[in-house]
Structure 1
Amino acid sequence: MNTAIMIIVVLVGVGAFFGIVLALADKRFAMEVNPLIHEVEDILPKGQCGACGFAGCAKYAEAVVEDESVPPDLCVPGKAAVAAKVAELTGKKAGASEPKYAQLKCRGTKTAAAMAACYEGVPDCAAAKLIQGGPKGCKYGCIGFGNCVRACPFGALSMGEDGLPVVNKAICTGCGKCVATCPQALLTLQTFTAPVQVGCSSHDKGPVAKKLCQHACIGCGLCMRSCTQGAITIDRFVAVVDPSKCRDCPEPVCLAKCPTKAIQALVRPEEGGCAIMKVS
């Protein structure tokens, strides 16, 4: 009994000794943190998305305060409002930024896309892709298990009843987390300038693409030839819209010319739409 008590007393004494030593060392070698770092961190969105190029909001706050070369407008989710506040706090100048949102380049819904097989594995897009490119006939299309939805730190994506992710552009910050997550590389960051978007990424030839999806781009070139701005080109059987040229076109002729409705009109947040494209 006495031995047990002695052991406990010794352990408590050793623990107390090292506790005091660590406390004194912490006080002796403590580094003062610039309070401005905490002020900057407090106004950041806390999405920890890494779009700024740093490992989280705290690291960006530290860098923008202590490093003169780090600009105050790197917080993509915060957009112009946060950039202006960071610039004011750090005494730096924020550059002009154009808001972006995530765009899904696929319209292969449950009813539009042909299925090649039934998948009964882990509900994960990357896992499903490992098995013959996924269950859909079109190997370029959205697999539909919502990896992008789970990756979004701001809750801007949700899975629609048609089997495709829906982007709420009023919430989407353009951080790019979903873009990096999609194993099909179907999500891109798009500005609000272009009035039309291409909802297809298939590089199959026209007859094959049309057989696999009702809304597939068949590379016919009607949109390209009808575009008065020269904003549309055909790249490996799929149309590509250059947003820098696709401007000031109140009634895009390409919308009427597209035989599969692969090209759709942009729905802006102020128009009350959350879906990426108007479905005709």
Structure 2
Amino acid sequence: MNVVLITIISLGALGSLSAIILFFVAQKFKVFEDPRIDQVEEVLPAANCGGCGFPGCRAFAEALVKADDISDLNCPVGGADTMSAAAGILGKEVTAAAPMVAVLRCNGTCDNRPKTSNYDGASSCTIASTLYGGETGCSFGCFGLGECVDACDFDAMYMDEKTGLPVIIEDNCVSCGACVTACPKDIIELRKKGPKSRRIYVSCVNKDKGAPAKKACSAACIGCGKCVKTCPFDAITLENNLAYIDYEKCKLCRKCVDVCPTNAITELNFPPKKPKVEKAETAE
């Protein structure tokens, strides 16, 4: 009986001593977490989309708290209101970032880009891209299997059965970049929405020379350089037979649209141009 009692007392004492030791060890190595992280996380949209460049809203909140300057940090889903709320909690200043939106840089519709073969494999753009160049003569264009649509958590995209291309619903797009990451062809880009949601960009990523590009798709950029020469703001560059419009420099004058021989340049949300009125000849 004494042996049992001594054993119980010894184990109890040993357990108590271990608990005390663990308590002091935990206190010594305790990691302090700024309570403002929780406060900032509460004003974030909890989308956990990764559009901010961090794995989730919690990680983004931690980055905001730790950063001395948060002007380069942005929550695309919450936008300016969310960033202002976070800045208010932290007592920091933030510059409102220009709203962005996803755009499709491919105009290879079924009419513009006829099929040369039929794919009968897994319904995945990523898998298809590792197997072959596509069902048409253009190896740069959209596969049309909708992996970008599946990646979007905000119902901002759908596949158009008529064109075979994804359509972006501007009002739903939060510019999280999930579709950009999902596309193995790199034909989706985040660009500034622009004033009155007006944008101009080259809807093509084909880097082939003019003749092969035009043969593969009637709306391909053929690298003629007319848009570069026409642009008065040096907003367009031509590299590897492909034109690109810098949205930071573009003033939306639309001169490039008028001179593009293949209609590879897309203009969105502009009013229709007024027809030019020819001057009547003066009678002699």
- Cα shift at 1:223: 1.8
Q: 1:8-55 CA deviation, whole Å, 9 max, x = no partner?
A: xxxxxxxxxxxxxxxxx99x9698976643332232222212232322
Q: Does 1:86 align with 2:90?
A: no
Greater alpha carbon shift after TM alignment, 106-115 vs 227-236: 227-236
The SS at the match of 1:71 is coil
Q: Does the C-alpha gap of structure 1 residues 89 and 257 become closer, same or farther in structure 2, counting only changes over 3 Å?
A: same
Please say if residues 41 and 57 of structure 1, whose CA atoms lie closer than 8 Å, have aligned partners that are also in contact. Answer: yes
More displaced 10-residue stretch of structure 1: 232-241 or 35-44: 35-44
Alignment partner, residue 175 of structure 2: 174
Sort the Cα spacing of 1:94 and 1:57 in 2 relative to 1 into closer, same or farther, 3 A.
Answer: same
Partner in structure 2 of residue 260 of structure 1: 262
Residue 245 of structure 1: CA displacement?
2.2
SS in 2 for 1:88: helix
Question: Are residues 63 and 236 of structure 1, via their aligned partners in 2, closer, same or farther at CA, if it must alter by over 3 Å?
Answer: closer
In the alignment, the residues of structure 1 paired with residue 42 and residue 228 of structure 2 have an alpha-carbon distance, to the nearest angstrom, of 48
Percent of residue pairs bearing the same amino acid type? 39
Q: Please name the residue that 2:56 is paired with.
A: 56
- Partner Cα separation in structure 2 for residue 68 and residue 228 of structure 1: 40
Q: Matched residues in 2 for 1:92 and 1:58: separation? A: 19
Gapped regions of structure 1 (runs ≥ 5): 1-24, 272-280
Pairing of 1:173-192 with structure 2 (within 5 A) = 173-192=174-193
Q: Partners of 1:215 and 1:248 in 2: how far apart?
A: 21
Change (3 A) 1:70 1:63: farther
Q: 1:174–1:189: 8 Å Cα contact kept in structure 2? A: yes
CA distance in 1, matches of 2:37, 2:236: 46
Could you tell me how far apart the structure 2 residues matched to 1:53 and 1:245 are? Answer: 25
How do 1:221-232 residues align onto structure 2 when only pairs under 5 Å count?
221-232=225-236
The AA in structure 1 aligned to 2:192 is T
Secondary structure at 2:86 match in 1: helix
Can you list the C-alpha shifts for 1:63-109, whole angstroms capped at 9, x where unaligned?
A: 434x2447274312222111001111222221231111111110001
The CA distance in 2 between the partners of 1:186 and 1:85, in whole Å, is 34
Name the amino acid aligned to 1:214: S
Give yes or no for contact 1:100–1:191 (8 Å, CA) kept in 2. yes
The answer for the alignment partner of 1:246 in structure 2 is 250
CA contact (8 A) 1:197 1:263 kept: yes
Superposition misfits of 4+ residues, deviation over 3 angstroms: 28-39
1: distance between equivalents of 2:188 and 2:252? 25
Matched residue, 2:15: none
Q: Using the alignment, how far apart are the partners of 2:140 and 2:67 within structure 1? A: 44
Larger Rg belongs to: 2
Query: Helix, strand or coil for the counterpart of 1:188?
Result: strand
Q: Is the 8 A contact 2:200 2:252 kept in 1?
A: no
| AA matched with 1:247 | K
**Given the alignment of the two structures, is residue 218 of structure 1 paired with residue 222 of structure 2, yes or no?**
yes
1:199–1:263 contact (8 Å) kept in structure 2: yes
Question: Normalising to structure 2: TM-score of the pair?
Answer: 0.76
**SS in structure 1 opposite 2:131?**
coil
Contact 1:197 1:264 in 2 (8 A): yes
By how many angstroms is 1:195 displaced?
A: 4.0
Paired with 1:203 and 1:53, the residues of 2 have a C-alpha distance of 29
